Amino acid sequence: MVLSRRRILSLVGSSSALAAMLPLGAWVAPAQAESRGLSFTGAAWRRLEVLHQNSFAPQVGTRFLARSPSVRRTARLVLSDVIDHAEPGDTAGECFTLVFTAQAQRERLAEETHLLRHPTLGLFPLFLQPSDAGLAGTRYVALVNRRFS
């Protein structure tokens, strides 16, 4: 099922845009993350800086493991879609949405920053927001906005 830009943006809402602008410390205390075995500092953040839309696009259909900082649980997600939000001729930077699907309903994740692991892309933090649940499973979206004026 293909989602329109309008539908994705309505699902993501302003909370994800706000979350993308705030430092991780506003969502997860570093000591709390470290005590749960999550490392949101150093190499993981640097890894996220070099991942771009063209890094994710070839990974559609592949599995990611998402580790939640609020509970000791790992969920298996599949990258369902990468949606480009750039307009033709736009040179202000990239803006795209990642759509993930969790097959099992028991793997419902909270709206927060998770540590994702992928065999090709490595380990990186990403803010995931649940969007909807359907027959294919629960969908999660992440808005990546690297636009500048």
pLDDT tens-place string over residues 113-138? 999 999 999 999 999 999 887 767 88
Expressed in angstroms, the distance from the first to the final Cα of the chain is 33
Domain count, the chain: 1
DSSP state for residue 132 in the 8-state scheme: E
Question: Which domain does 123 fall in, by range?
Answer: 5-147
Q: Which helix (H) or strand (E) holds 55?
A: helix 53-56
- pTM summary value: 0.70
Interatomic CA distance for residues 38 and 31, integer angstroms:
10
Lowest-confidence pick of 5-9, 39-43, 53-57, 144-148: 5-9
pLDDT tens-place string over residues 23-78? 444 344 444 444 444 555 566 667 777 889 999 999 999 999 998 877 777 889 99
pLDDT tens-place string over residues 84-118? 998 887 777 889 999 999 977 666 788 999 999 99
How far, in Å, are 34, 38, 59, 66, 99 from residue 42 at the CA level?
Answer: 12, 12, 24, 18, 26
